[in-house]
Structure 1
Amino acid sequence: MNANRNLPGHLQLYLTGEHDCSYLDGLRARTLFVDPMARIDRERAQWLQQIGFRRSGMHFYRPACRGCQRCIPVRVPVADLRLSRSQRRNASRNDGEVRIAFKPAQLQPAHYQLYERYILARHGDGDMAEDVSIETYMRFLLSPWGGQTWFIEAYLGERLMSVAVTDIFSDGLSALYTFFDPELSERGPGTYAVLTQAREAARLGLRHLYLGYWIEESPKMAYKDRFRPIEAWDGRDWLRFERGEPIRFCK
């Protein structure tokens, strides 16, 4: 990796060489990383997120691909969230039967077992399935980063339905990763996890729920665009899009 430039606050950036895109077949990607040796506290992490970076383990990154700007950071202004008909059905079905619990970010066998089943069932043809292990799970979701993380559990009766790994910032929550029981997919556990996080952000008086990157051509990311209004980072500002408005930036 080659040194790129300094961020405000004396954070060094490093740019990877080109590699296969993890989201779209046939494309090449590059990634911009914050120096992994830098001290990233909660304030710096929040600032990085506000300019389009994401966290993976203890690393903060954003795409920096040649001639491609398909990865768009998105967030939901939770106080203004208006649910679609299908989202209201999801909430109505799950609210009466699902129990929510908030746990600290610690290794629990039940969490890892659910994560492994989810990765193999939903991403069996991808890079994550090739390297699924407790070690990679811990590096990805349990690495210390200078802030606070919740594991938001959803139980259907006594059965663990999903776990939403959620970072906590002063301006919002960040949906880092969600995994769920593949046998309960018909209940829409991923959508319900987002609704749960949005509700919790609103309850705490926080403004946003950060959903990471959205790619229009990626079916696996289509659910993010269904939460409206939504805000998208164009590289300079967060722009707001209401229901029915396509996420498009003026060039």
Structure 2
Amino acid sequence: MTTHSDNKLAQDLNSGALSLALAEIAEDAARVILPFWRNGATVETKADDSPVTQADRAAEALILERLAAAYPGVQTVAEEAVAAEGAPDAAEGWFWLIDPLDGTKGFIRGGEAFTVNIALIHDGYPVAGVVTAPATATTWRADAPGGGALRRQFGDVQEGEAHAGAEWRPIRVRDRPQEGLALLSHSVTDEEAARLAARHGCTRWQGTDSSLKFCLIAEGRFDAYPRSGPTSEWDTAAGQAVLEAAGGRVLADDGQRLAYGKPRFLNGPFVAMGG
């Protein structure tokens, strides 16, 4: 059954209003996170041995509140809620995938490569997504369908203002150069990184945290991000939306487009690629 909220989602998605709204929510979540950065945030350990901080929880609370107000009744699958309450049995139709602070380990170390991620899934694939890097005040978003991908520096715009001072600029993947450059997770060994990079036609590689990898490929600065270890769907959905809007691809191990709503919301191996 189609609901009023479903109709509003579809309308706002096609007009670009949804993409802009998600960007503002993600940027306001970034402002919630920044006071905790390099400021001795309390770190706890979740059941899967991954870390969580006050910043993760505060950002997720803001995102969930704002999404519920704008689009009531749409299912949410958010990292910290799943950690506390368990994953839902299934998600179908329209649903949100939310990672309020991707790259928590790097955040705790004081690094800059952590991100806020919000994606809208419809019938198994991301149709909208926003990634914000709080440390550099940068946001990437997939525009309305067919509108490409965009990036802006939102700088010192204050929460609650219209965010009108920052200009959106189009981004696009680059054609693969003769010597491709890969991005890899810091969790892999140098030997595994070199093997993965070579497998996807890249002679050089660099380690980077979080979903920032998708956005750097979308900007045309890198060429591939192969991943062999497991990830959660909220780690990849927003980045996939941005990269695909910029002309890239994210493929599962079987060569098909990476899909969402899988059991326990877990991904298998995949590769994100530019041109």
TM-score normalised to structure 2 length: 0.27
Q: Which has the higher contact order (CA 8 A, sep 6+)?
A: 1
TM-score normalised to structure 1 length: 0.29
Q: Which has the higher helix share?
A: 2
